[in-house]
Amino acid sequence: MNTDVSADVVTQAREWAAHDPDEASRTQLLALVDAAAADEAAAADLASRFVGPLTFGTAGLRGAVGPGESRMNVAVVTRATAGLAAYLDGALDQPARVVVGCDARHGSDAFYDATTQVLSGAGAQVIALPRQLPTPLTAYAVRALDADAGVMVTASHNPPADNGYKVYLGRALGGEDGVGVQIVPPVDGLIAAQIAAAPPADEVARSAANVTPAPADLVDRYVARTAGLRGRTEASNTRIVLTPMHGVGGATALQVLAAAGFGDVHVVAQQQQPDPDFSTVPFPNPEEPGAIDLALALARDVDADVVIALDPDADRCSVAIPERDGTWRQLSGDEVGWLLGEQAATDPTRSGDTLACSLVSSRLLGRIAEHHGLRGATTLTGFKWIARAPGIRFGYEEAIGYCTDPESVKDKDGISAMLRVATLVDDLARDGRTIPDALDDLARTHGLFATAPLSFRVDDLSIITDAMARLRAADVTELAGSPVASVTDLAHGSPELPATDAIILTTQADDRVIVRPSGTEPKLKCYLEVVVPVPGSDIPRGVAQERLRRLGADITAVLGL
């Protein structure tokens, strides 16, 4: 036997295979065990599949698809669902009603089947959504159908090899502010404990007896609700280029746009249909360099007014616009958040009095709220926190996630965000104005805010730990030429926020840097923001960009990366 494969790993693998209910997965794993005896690459691959169970947390499960305890597979999903069912059974006085949906990734169909059947086998009443629908439809269904919980099988914008499993709660367990919102502590820990106590996957009961299809008109109701956000139905002259990024949002997005009066829509044909291999992009995230190149090329060809890119499960939305000189520019998540925040703040038909964003998003949303007599709220990162802001009217995070209709979907929703952006472009055009004009207006009113991300991807997580330790030990006195006014370490929380591994540095010039490890990737992330006064009509964007460059260089030096 290859010395790189321990007997314990081989024993674990064979034991796992003995209880794997998926024949294809079981066969693949046993073949890998045999190959590992003579092949170093196979040995390393086998060992990587048994480095510990895939952790269930506030993001649910997410990982590469394949056999083994450290991968996403039918066995892992089966035990996770058994744990969820046990939690719901213990927390409710009656059988749980659970909505289940899935995207089109590798494994999604099998994971969807396992989820519905295990819940049914445990006595829950399962409401099965049609397959290959956007994640916002699952969040919508939990609220619209007054379900006790929801499960969405998706890995959002992760690489093609991945899949995932996220959980929402209804009113009985989520509370009034958490209806249709993803789980937060301590619920994740309670579910994880039940998963750990679940029997082997092949011993978990499965049944279809309690599985019923979702109401036939559910998608139509979502489409009508979302299309109605425009406020009128007459035909718009706005020309839109749309890409669903090989995901499941295309059909629903087109239905919404058509119902709202946006008929001049051009879809990127190469990316229109679901494709689990995401064949035209190296990484299916609209924020990644090159991801929207096909959409931009189409926009130039058809002389579009706006480009909208949905991520693969359509819970996030990226926007690109033509500048005054005819060049195209992709807006940052913060810029879209400012525009939609201003739109929400000035719309008297909206309910709620709070504009909410994550800690690492721009502070300008709070200024917009204050300017319009509304409340600004800052939360921890992630929509599981943003959506829980009491009285939320609008919420966003800089990672292109927007909650624009919290009464309907209390989560990020790329399709409703798409509709809000299209409406904004259309409304501005009626007054002979554009998105750049609206951004200039915000700068003249509040000062020029400019943000930029700075990330360090690592192979060794200790590099991140060491960098955070260096930052905590450093005496940082100046950033981008301005004295540091405050350093806040959130390791133990603050009066406004619970504890999280993040450090905030602000300067006398009101610039800010937030440094934190990513919660989903092996990255150390820095969020840079500068604020430049705008004393006249000219917008000093060049000054802001140079300040951002200096800010990034200075914090990089402090981190030693």
Return the active site residues. 156
Nearest Cα residue to 371 out of 342, 336, 337? 342
Do residues 505 and 468 touch, judged by C-beta distance below 8 A?
A: no
Q: Which of 355, 136, 146 is nearest to 225 (CA)?
A: 136
- The DSSP bridge pattern shows strands 162-169 and 61-64 to be antiparallel
Q: Which two tokens stand for residue 390?
A: 């009491």
CB 287 within 8 A of CB 253: no
Which DSSP string do the residues of 309-346 spell out, in sequence order? EE-TTSS-EEEEEE-TTS-EEEPPHHHHHHHHHHHHHT
Structure tokens at 170: 């209804």
Give the three-state DSSP class for 349: coil
N-term to C-term CA, the chain? 40
E-strand stretches of 421-492: 448-457, 478-479, 482-489
Task: Measure the CA–CA gap between 419 and 224, rounded to whole angstroms.
Answer: 12
Phi, psi of 248 (to 5 degrees): -105, 10
Q: How far apart are CA 185 and CA 166, in angstroms?
A: 14
| Residues ≥6 apart with Cβ < 8 Å to 147 | 97, 98, 99, 127, 141, 170
Whole-angstrom Cα distance, residue 290 to residue 271?
13
Among 191, 193, 210, residue whose Cα is nearest residue 118: 210
Neighbour tally for 488: CB within 10 Å: 13
Contacts of residue 291, Cβ cutoff 8 Å, sequence gap at least 6: 245, 281, 283, 284, 285, 309
| Angstrom distance (rounded) from CA 401 to CA 315 | 7
**Which residues, at least 6 apart from 368, have a Cβ–Cβ distance to it below 8 Å?**
338, 341, 342, 345, 355, 376, 442, 446
CB-CB contact of 135 with 154 (8 Å): yes
Strand 392-397 relative to strand 401-403: parallel, antiparallel, unpaired?
antiparallel
Q: Long-range contacts for 499-505 (Cβ within 8 Å, ≥24 apart)?
A: 500/359, 500/380, 500/381, 501/468, 502/359, 502/360, 503/468, 503/471, 503/472, 504/359, 505/476, 505/479, 505/555
Using omega within 30 degrees of 0 as the cis cutoff, is the peptide bond preceding 186 cis?
Answer: yes
